[in-house]
Chain A
Amino acid sequence: SQQGEEDPQALSIQEGENATMNCSYKTSINNLQWYRQNSGRGLVHLILIRSNEREKHSGRLRVTLDTSKKSSSLLITASRAADTASYFCATDKGAQKLVFGQGTRLTINP
């Protein structure tokens, strides 16, 4: 069964705009991670946020975590064509058995 559910399933924006993706989960977690997958490739780790953290930044990425609402969001600012990819959240309840959501497919239009 899927622990994380991403929303929206697909998102199309213009280059330079910001993109926001959301992830909801059902049970308590140890940490939550976001990954990117380019077409035909493996997943690439973007950012990890621990359950006791509320916000984390990495370059143009900003991740928030609200454990009371069991939700997380990934914000990509000033989007570029190279950001076109699928984005997955993954929850870790401990022991590194990550459970992935179904992903958000992001398209950046030039």
Chain B
Amino acid sequence: NAGVTQTPKFQVLKTGQSMTLQCAQDMNHNSMYWYRQDPGMGLRLIYYSASEGTTDKGEVPNGYNVSRLNKREFSLRLESAAPSQTSVYFCASSAGPYYSPLHFGNGTRLTVT
């Protein structure tokens, strides 16, 4: 049982390049999330998807786009990477919508130079 799988694990981009972070869950969860974690800032919600076919902005959505491809997969795209997007990105899922714990992947460590 893999849980939440994120790819890639590490990535280095140059400013202005684009990339897509992939996330898949095998728990038949309805809700999926993208967070970023920066030192001293905790985790901040970028985007979330309450159910297949819906997405909504979180606290820090600027510079990102998302796609809920199907119930299993939720991708995060950086169209034009900036150094301020250097961070660790976590995908999570939950059965949702209330009183459900989040299940996290192990993160993607992104550096933008």
Binds B, one of A13-21, A44-52, A62-70, A77-85: A44-52
Which residues on the B side are within 8 Å of A33 (C-beta)? 101-102
Q: How far is the CB of B35 from chain A (nearest CB, A)?
A: 8
Given contacts A31-B99, A48-B99, contact A99 B104 (CB under 8 A): no
Give how many B residues have a beta carbon under 8 Å from the other chain's beta carbons: 28
What is the distance, in angstroms, from B96's C-beta to the closest C-beta of chain A? 5
Whole-angstrom distance between the alpha carbons of A98 and B94 in the complex? 11
Residue of A with least CB distance to B31: A96
Chain A, Cβ-Cβ closest to B35: A100
B98 in contact with A100 (CB, 8 Å): no
Judge whether B105 and A88 touch: CB under 8 Å: no
Closest-by-CB residue of B relative to A4 is B42
- Establish whether residues A98 and B90, one from each chain, have CB atoms under 8 Å apart when the complex forms: no
With A41-B106, A42-B4, A42-B107 already in contact, the answer to whether A96 and B97 are too (CB < 8 A) is yes
Is residue B13 contacting chain A, with contact meaning CB distance below 8 A?
no
What is the minimal beta-carbon distance from A71 to any residue of chain B, in angstroms?
17
B45 and A97: CB pair below 8 A? yes
A43–B90 touching, CB < 8 Å: yes
**Does B94 contact A101, Cβ atoms closer than 8 Å?**
no
Whether B42 contacts A103 by the Cβ 8 Å rule is yes
Taking a contact as CB atoms closer than 8 A, the residue among A35, A44, A50 that contacts B99 in the complex is: A50
Query: Among A50, A98, A102, which residue has its beta carbon within 8 angstroms of that of B40?
Result: A102
- The chain B residues found within 8 Å of chain A, CB to CB, are 4, 31, 35, 40-45, 48, 50, 58-59, 90, 92, 94, 96-107
Query: What are 16 contact pairs spanning A and B, CB under 8 A?
Result: A2-B42, A31-B98, A33-B102, A43-B90, A43-B104, A48-B99, A48-B101, A88-B42, A96-B48, A96-B96, A97-B45, A97-B58, A98-B102, A99-B59, A100-B44, A102-B40
